Amino acid sequence: MPVAHFLHHVFTSKDFTPAEQEEIISQFRQVSFTKNDYLIKEGNTAYKYWFVESGFVRAYVIDVQGNDISTNFYAVGDLIIDWISFFQHTPAKENIQAMTDCVVWEIDFDKFQKLYHGIKAFNEHGRGTMVQGYFTLKQHSIAMLTDHAKERYVRLLEEKPHIIQNVSLKHIATYLGITDTSLSRIRKELLSE
């Protein structure tokens, strides 16, 4: 198994004992995806989740009109999981696809369950991660209804500049709920300010 320095950073020693840290890390395996590979395809059940060591990944849905709509972006250090599919063993409603070549660390449901029920700190870490994911999703869904497009773009630029620099404007526009043209106009306005 490759040396998992990356996972030592994810599961820091301030949260876990060295023995717990080693037990957790031993349950993950390093996997590579090439650009355009799917981690999860809509309709399939998610039995694994991943932490991104390198590369960029996008989650998206196809809406009722056949449009490709970005729902999330993942980069170094991010957790990629379809919470509902993973925990309820139901078909995923999103596609999760590598936008670049990627290296990730994956764990399957059975190994996750063993850790979740066997290591209290892992249980707490998992719940904290899920709550943070919920907050992020809730903030994004409220912003889509209450904030102007320019505000949403500026927030993304401030919080995740690496996404702006590495993801196509087409995908960013759908994530922000606007057209490519509107996004280009917003970017020009910001440059002239």
Task: Encode pLDDT of 99-119 as tens digits.
Answer: 999 999 999 999 999 999 999
* Average pLDDT value for residue range 31-49: 97
In this predicted structure, the answer to whether residue 60 has a pLDDT above a threshold of 70 is yes
Task: State which of 34-48, 130-144, 178-192 shows the largest mean pLDDT.
Answer: 34-48
**Confidence band for 62, pLDDT divided at 50, 70 and 90:** very high
In this predicted structure, the answer to whether residue 186 has a pLDDT above a threshold of 60 is yes
What does the domain layout of the chain look like in residue ranges? 5-145, 147-193
For 1, 83, 127, 134, 135, the CA distances from 130, given in Å and listed in that order, are 28, 8, 5, 6, 9
Contacts of 14 (CB under 8 A, 6+ apart): none
What pLDDT shows up at residue 84? Answer: 93
Q: Does domain 5-145 correspond to CATH entry 2.60.120.10?
A: yes
In this predicted structure, the answer to whether residue 2 has a pLDDT above a threshold of 60 is no
Hey, is 101 helix, strand or coil? Answer: coil
Helix, strand, coil shares of the chain, percent, nearest 5, are: 50, 20, 30
Compute the mean pLDDT over every residue in the chain, rounded to the nearest whole number: 91
Hey, is 94 helix, strand or coil? Answer: coil
